[in-house]
Amino acid sequence: MGKFSTYRYLELKDDTAAPHINIRSRNIKHPRKLKKIFIFLIVLALCITYFLDSYICMKTEVLRRIRNEPSDCRFWLLAGQSQWLDGIAKSLGYESVYHHAVIIDAGSSGSRVIAYKFRVPLTLYNFVSVYGPSNLDLVEEFFEQSKPGLSSYADDPAKGADTIVQLIKKAEFLTPPEKRKSTPLIVRATAGLRLLPADKAQQLIDHVARAIMQLGYDVAPDGVKIMDGSDEGIFIWYTINLLHNLIGGTTMAALDLGGGSTQITYQLSDKETANFPKKDQYVVPAGENITLYTHSYLKLGLLAARYGVFQTEASQADTQEFRSVCVDPIIQREPWTYANKNYFVSGAFRVHGSKRAAIYSACHAVVRRSVLPAVDWEPRRAPLGSIAAMSYFYDVAADAGIIDVMTGGQVSVAAYRKAALEACSTPNVDQPWACIDLVYIVTLLQDVYKISDEEPVYLFKKVNGHEVSWALGLAYTTIMNRIVITP
């Protein structure tokens, strides 16, 4: 199904440690005669495909530059070689090797299990790593989710742990029983648990850890923990660029919008590093060592930002009744739950015949008043090159009809603003938060991420049938650090 490549592989051990490489070796025995034939065929194939693919790449590179598209010649050259050589290896009797991983994304708005099955190309164990990047096939994946999020069980951690166990059991079919002991099972909680009191969050972590230890998977000592926002940003960056075959070439920026936090991650040139905080820079392997800028904004996820706007307009800090200019007056005492608390939200009074631009401006003003003081750092410019956006960026655009809900597509700040103008001036009891959510995304993209009105932003939920989630980046790098390579 999916194939992607990288020279070396990222593994983040904790919130402060730099990524590092862990490669071990193991001898794989095969008949000498077959091995000699295999070596000869590899050398021959490398020579033929190198010159053939180089010629094709030079032709297509001209068109890519005219269209301002990223280059991926080197990647496809070597990925193509790997596919060809892998076919030869299979015909000579070499057996495929499979690895599995199960990741739990315990988000603020829900928990998700993503189980992966990877195939290690036969050439990875032998000779391709000498000549270029190794390859890994994503053969199959399983995705399931449940709501509410783990943080909603702060007062009943045992029940919260059981929701995680039930998700894992739904994905059991993808991992053969005999392989579970060697299959990593990783649980990472995001902004939902970051926003809880430390003792409540730790109780949830402890209960989940004890529960999943009974399932027979390989659970590391740090197998259950709160994921740092920078890890979240880096892994979603890896995911989107792996799935688009861009590692080692011109990469895409990654924007992720969750319920409790939002992340922006992109590659920096050597000249740019001085303009960004050192704590937000990470050197990672991507063809060669590159520097990523990643920043996570806690409390600026979609749901947290919505709550912040309502609080900004409230006359009392501890009220359960909100009235907002970003909600149509037709909405009265709409129930809304955030962070395990129940609220009622109503639309503020509007003068009859108010122009939609005035309604939008009133909402935009209060959103900016709430959001901008919470921004602890702003980049000076927008990311260079292509920009990919995921999660609530996608969902809000799909609900507004800006993109096709199944295929995604290209949007812009101007497109979000146009949809916001419409949503803010049109009563819609089925989508009471459409106005505030769209206005918030406009504010985030324009005022915080510095993206201009017409700059294209590409929205993804799936790529080639695979879920776009930081979980894939984590699973992929975890498996690659376990793979043994014959020198």
CB 239 within 8 A of CB 227: no
DSSP secondary structure letters along 420-469:
HHHHHHS--TT-TTHHHHHHHHHHIIIIIS---TT--EEE-SEETTEE--
* 347 annotated as ligand-binding: no
CA-to-CA dists, residue 182 to 104, 176, 179, 423, 438, angstroms: 17, 11, 6, 50, 44
For strand 185-189 and strand 224-226, is the pairing parallel, antiparallel, or unpaired?
A: parallel
232 in active site:
yes
Contact call for residues 214 and 249 (beta carbons, < 8 A): no
Axis crossing angle, helix 356-371 with helix 434-443, rounded to the nearest 10: 60
User: Is 262 annotated among the ligand-binding residues?
Assistant: yes
Q: Which one from 141, 232, 455, 467 is the annotated catalytic residue?
A: 232
User: Residues 129, 91: contact at Cβ < 8 Å?
Assistant: no
> How wide is the angle at C-alpha 473 spanned by C-alphas 467 and 479, nearest 5°?
115
Q: Between the CA of residue 299 and those of 42, 149, 340, what are the distances in Å?
A: 53, 16, 15
**Strand residue runs (E) in 272-402:** 281-286, 288-298, 321-324, 334-338, 341-347, 387-391
**Is 263 annotated as belonging to a binding site?**
yes
Residue 131, token pair as written in the block: 């000549």
332 annotated binding-site participant: no
Beta bridge partners of 75: none
Binding site annotation covers 111? no
Strands 134-146 and 111-120: antiparallel
Q: 10 Å Cβ neighbour count for 82?
A: 25
H helix count then E strand count, the chain: 13, 18
DSSP, collapsed to helix, strand or coil, labels residue 260 as: coil
Residues making up the binding site: 259-263
Residues making up the binding site for ATP: 259-263
Catalytic site positions: 232
